[in-house]
Structure 1
Amino acid sequence: MIRHLVLFKLNEGVQRDDPRVVAGVEAFRPLGDLIEDLRSWELGWNISDRPIAYDFAINSSADDADALKRYVEHPAHQAGVALWREFATWVIADYEV
């Protein structure tokens, strides 16, 4: 199994209640039920106020590299990514568990 972690940092001046951000979160929220290649799906806002903290996180898993690739290329995932590009940057880590 592969764990897929994504940490998002909102761009300077962008707040959680920005309509673009709300739309971005809502685009990602249903992916766990929508994309059958995902084995687990969690997302949420960071609750830490430490200066090095990111703002939003996705924690998901897929059976193998092929399943992860199908998830990444899925049109619903790509639509969400396109929204997030407008107001945030992110880092990812994919590792075997």
Structure 2
Amino acid sequence: MIRHIVLFTFKPGCSWDDQRAVEAEWSTHQVGVHVPELVEWRAGRNVSTRDIACDFVAIGLLRDEADLHRYLTNDFHRRSAALWREISTWVIADVVEPVSSQPTVSSDHTA
């Protein structure tokens, strides 16, 4: 399984008061409906007010790299990404998750 994570940060002059941001947000929520390869899809506004915080996050789960490729080339996903490209910068991570019923042990690292 591959966990796809995207963190969006508004470009200077853009905020949630901008209709383009609202449109990008709506479109991103719809990606989960329009991309069949997604096993899970979550997206939402970041509520953190810290200086280093991003503005929006999208998190998906895909079965393998072939599904990740199909997701990345999906027409609806590409149109949604184009909306964000206009108003934000972003960083991504595609993390391989073990397929196991065993819980993952993690450390609590507070940034």
Output the TM-score relative to the length of structure 2. Answer: 0.85
Deviation of 1:13 after TM superposition, in Å, equals 1.5
Q: Which runs of 4+ in 1 moved over 2 A?
A: none
Deviation of 1:29 after TM superposition, in Å, equals 1.0
Structure 2: which 5+ runs fail to align?
Answer: 98-111
Deviations 1:57-77 (Å, cap 9, x if unpaired)? 011110000001100100000
Structure 1: which 5+ runs fail to align?
Answer: none
Q: Which residue of 1 aligns with 2:14?
A: 14
Map 1:18-97 → 2, pairs under 5 A: 18-97=18-97
Q: Matched residue of 2:57: which SS?
A: strand
Percent of aligned positions that are identical: 40
Q: Which has the larger radius of gyration?
A: 2
Alpha-carbon distance in structure 1 between the residues aligned to 2:78 and 2:70: 11
**Comparing both structures, which one devotes a greater share of its residues to strand?**
1
Alpha-carbon distance in structure 2 between the residues aligned to 1:46 and 1:27: 17
User: Number of residues paired by the alignment?
Assistant: 97
